[in-house]
Structure 1
Amino acid sequence: MASSTDNSANLDLTTCSICFETFKTPKYFPCLHSFCEGCIKTYITTTFVQTKGGVNCPVCRMHVSKPQGVRIEEWSSELPTNHILVSLIDMNESKLGQKLCMPCSRENETESASSWCINCGEALCKLCERYHRKQKSSITHKLIDIGNYETTDLQRNYVDIPCTEHPDKNVEAYCRDHSAICCMTCAFLKHRNCKNVGSIHDAAEEMKKSREVEDFSDALQGFKNTLDAKLQYTLDNLHEFDKDIEKMKVDVDTLFIKLSNHLSQLKSDILSKISKIEKEVRPEIEDKHDEIKCKISTIQNDLALFQTNMEYAPPAQFLQAMEKLMEQRSILEQFVNEESQKLKEIRVTFDANEKLLEIEKAIKVFGEVDIRRTNRTDMVRSTGKQVDMSSVVPNLSSEVIVQFAATGIAVLENSQLLLSNCGGKSIELCDHQCSSVLSSLSLPGYPCGIKMTSDTEGAVAVLGHGLIIFNIKNNQITKIKEIRTNVNRDFVYHQGKYYVGCNKNIAVYDSNHRKVRDISVDNNVDYMAVRDDTSMCYTVFGGRKLYCITMDGTPVFTYSHDKLQYTRGVTVDHAGYIYVCGYWSNNVHQLSHDGKLQRIIFDNLPPWPRCVSFNKHGDKAVIGCDGKVLSYDIK
């Protein structure tokens, strides 16, 4: 690379925006941003996306398509050279002193330049000049003595630009009718009927003096002044925004501490009362337990005496012993009868404050964070609410080919994707575009439905095996535990419990992964989703309906449609809309909260969509099909 530039310069046109050093063979994109040939080559080869067929400019992000027939590795050399920058760099270097050979500099060698190649726009040492004159590709290039290059007129007049129509010829003419530069062949053939064709030199001088160029310069300066003011405004906005964020965090922490302290005191009070009751009542139960245990011991002793006397005692001793045992029997019989009537079960109950019980239902959020977007001119205010899912338009942002059927998808908080790789018997953590796998976890069977149960913990249903509980930390998936159950394809997690879809029932497991009950249903449950706090939805393997039931199994509604064939994956977005995949109809239906068709929001999908998932804001949707993962921006 070349020497570093002076950072104090406000705008240095000779500095590459990738390496931040003086350009080496500057090449430019259609957006006119220039880069070193080596820098842009590295950028292209590392960021080229096959499905998009090009790259984005590193400066302005404009998409640049790769020319047909050009290999990625050769694309940078095919880009046009910015001869103006070459001349500008060389003028600067000539003012600084001795000019160095450019090819040698690229090899980190220092050699004084003796000539200048007009066609390549490069300074050459004597050895490189000899090779330059011998090579077939440069044998016709015009070389001048390096001392003559410092002449401004030479720099302006000797920059040859090849014609786009005839690469072996340089442009010499300018057609004012078409606003195009061309070679003399084009001038005689393509522009022979044009009335305003002249030399490049005359056209350039005329344009420099025109009102159009003056207006252009004034307009650019005006744009810059306006954007400078807006730039300062955004800096001020960032400062104020950061202050708002910090204040909100302090306010939230203060409120949380206040509530926590109050609840902690209430908890301490009730626990003290419970301890007092325990100390008073437990001895009573223990005393009764000891008394009964003592009587049982007496009975066991009497039985032993009775059996011994029956077998071994002489007649007189037997009669005497039986008389005493009969007396003991009367006492024991009286005790048993009395205890049967007096014995009471002592239990304690906790009746929570009704207002505390209502907190969970009454308080759904800790507070509201309102984003205020204020236009500086008309002071329009935006509420900053989440996406309105009733009228959004999905825009396909990526379509990634995968070598498996994605049978389950979860969109994480950071937009990363969790995929169930059915054929590979694994789950995979991918980047937000599903273009690279960050980590994976091998499974004992075929994975299907996958969901996050917290910010870092999740579970996946393994067909016929059970649920695998895992966590994600530092982009690594680690197995925690498993729940062995005859799961079909999916489960839901609601209020600390796992509801697992099985044949003719939904098995419920508590937070300790212990089965607590079964919910009977009429079908073999396939994919599942929580609808709200009191209900859930599920599909049936091979069926054409979506079922909604309460958390205890009571039917709420059933949905079917002619254009919904073979229901599979189901999910619910942040706004309460329900989405169900049509495996054979290749679509996704959007339903209202009460099960009415809102619209077929995704149609004509690639074959066999199995699952659909949204991020929590509702502005991104991901659909898993056979061999493809589709990502949509929701606007």
Structure 2
Amino acid sequence: MRAIRQESNKQIYCDICGPKIEACSRCLDCEESLCHICCNVHEKSKASRHHRVSDLGTLDPEMKGKIRQRIFCDQHLEEEIKLVCKDCKVLICVLCKAIKHDHHASETVADAAAEVKMNIEIKMKQCLDKVKRITDSEREAEALDTKINDVESKEINALEDQRLQLIKVIDEEVAKMKLKVENVYKVIRQQNSALKIDLKKELKKCVSANDNARQIINQGTDIDIIKNGSVLEQLLSAAMTETAPNPITRMDKNLFSPVEIKVKELILFIGMMRDSTEMSV
């Protein structure tokens, strides 16, 4: 969209006098910003003398942020931007509409902003759904840490119980198996830790995109929403498009399984060691 003149965020102009006179007060009943002269007239007028008029400097940031910023046409300096030309995809004033965009389809800034806002809110909801899914996956990954430790501990203890029933000559074999179990679960634990880091990054990306969109939706003007709408939609879409990594859930097979000891077959029956690749992420 072409360049437009926007009032400074720190400057609010008189709604009566126009864009050349800076406002100093705000009538909370009329919802109008007033300069010194208009404020005096407003307070003396019979119709408005009892209205609540506050100095702009005393307004809290939230209320001040809700005061509509007036945007003016760069070609017709006294005309406020009120329309969007749908054919040319530009912001225009009523004079632009009458002169250059007479036969073009147009809509009010409010209607255009409402449509963009609706699309963004849909994306935000979808993004929040993904945030929930990622949070659930993150919770599963956290729970898996405990399960990994418990299963590993049980298997190590089972292996140790077997070792205690064997004669001294098999201690070396038992030690080798213990080391393998510890190494395998160390790898699985490292993989799960890396997974949690990826989940946090994906969650941060989604929350950040959603927070940026919420800030524009809640605090931005209609013009801000229109100007930033496509970028926000792209950021939200990108955050939802990337697939979050899935947590480790397969822990139903033990790496080590004890068996009944037979003296003549000690080495063969210390236990059954599964292929460690079955325990990988």
Same fold (TM over 0.5): no
Bigger RCO of structures 1 and 2 (CA < 8 A, at least 6 apart): 2
Larger radius of gyration: 1
More strand by share: 1
TM-score (norm 2): 0.32
The structure with more helix, counted as a fraction of residues:
2
How high is the TM-score relative to the length of structure 1?
0.17
